[in-house]
Amino acid sequence: MIPHPGPRAKRREAGDGRRRLRFISPALVLGLLWGLLLLSPSVQPVLAAPPVSINQDLLTLKNGDTLKGRLDSGDAKTITFVSEGAGKLVIAWTYVKSLRVPEAFAVLTKTVRVRQGMPNREVPEGSLDVEGPTLTVGTPSGPVRMPVADVTHLVEAKTYEKMVYGVEHLWQGWTGSLSGGASFVEATQSLETFNFGIALTRTIPSVSWLEPDDRTILGFTTTYGTISQPNTPSISTSIYHGDAEQDEYFSRDFYALVQALYDHNSTTGLDLQQIYGAGVGYTVLRHPTQDLSFTLTASYIDQQYQVASADQNLIGGTFTVTYFYKFPHDITFNENSYITQPFNNTSAWFAYLSAGLTIPVIDSLAFAIQAIDNYWNAPAPGFANNSFQLNANLSYTIPSF
């Protein structure tokens, strides 16, 4: 027989039910509300909107493709555009249908020249609007229109102001390379040869869209070797060449210069040759892949030989040729040569040639082949008049600093 619950037990059960109801009722209410929101056609849950990019540049190509992103720079032939999906792109102007750039850019043209510290008020700065062959610059004083064909550089306004009004310190703007190699032979004769080279250049300002002000060139190459054989005196070879040049520009291509050249060559009996000169230079060809310059200087030459009677002090003229060429895949050719003709001893002329090919290997490392030739028409008695070297080295490109 099951006992029938009394009044107290019924009240306890009813109280437990009320407690359970009070405990679950908030959850039930929230669940019902959420269900109504989902089922209602007029009420939808509010979701966070994705971030919206502002001030994006808009590039439209002639084939109809549209790219959003940021204009990085431009020159006479191409623009560099950083796209959201495609990354950094270099696009020829001939493929551009339109370009909208809300950020301020400085526009340099063929007829305008700008030097560091000397701003040119003819350079328009503002937003860019390209439509077909016409570029419109939205300057504060009103729109300025020009043919796209006249543009030589597009430079972000902040960068333009920084470079025009800024001053680079002595330790800034340097570029260059280090190279070195060695060879060893162990047999009846033991042969050891070491060579090393460094080349540094500092051009101020360091950007091509500004007129050059000055340039510093420093270079040094050396080769040292020994040949030894049992019961025979060792023979040492020591050759080095150093040069320093300071250029001051009158225009983009014409400049004045002073230079100092130093040579030592034990194979031709030359202890030390010093050349000090001053003159003028002209850049005949200036291009990102090719550069050709000529210089002509009046020079003083001090030659000291192992045979003291051959020492000379000469006055003459030095003609120098420097050439640079960049092949595909960043393979470069560099040539530096000069010939000096003394006036007070016309038979004592001499010449120097350095030519090298640099082939990139990985990152900043490259394989380099360099030929160096020295010729003295009037060497020291008992010595040859020509010295030739062919060096194969590893080369390291020094990052710009």
What is the tens place of the pLDDT at every residue in 3-32? 444 444 444 444 444 444 344 444 443 444
Whether the CB-CB separation of 369 and 389 falls below 8 Å is answered with no
* pLDDT at res. 41: 40
129 pLDDT band (50/70/90 cuts)?
A: very high
Whether the full predicted model's pTM is greater than 0.85, yes or no, is no
Spatial separation of the C-alpha atoms in residues 399 and 95, rounded to whole Å = 34
What is the tens place of the pLDDT at every residue in 326-359? 999 889 999 999 999 999 999 999 999 999 999 9
Q: How do the domains of the chain map onto residue ranges?
A: 57-165, 174-398
Whether the CB-CB separation of 147 and 133 falls below 8 Å is answered with yes
* pLDDT at res. 172: 77
What is the tens place of the pLDDT at every residue in 266-305? 888 899 999 999 999 999 998 888 999 999 999 999 999 9
Superfamily of domain 174-398: Nucleoside-specific channel-forming protein, Tsx-like (2.40.230.20)
The amino acid at 105: F
Cα distances from 396 to residues 65, 73, 175, 358, 363, in angstroms, run 41, 28, 11, 10, 9
What Rg do the C-alpha atoms of the chain give, in angstroms? Answer: 37
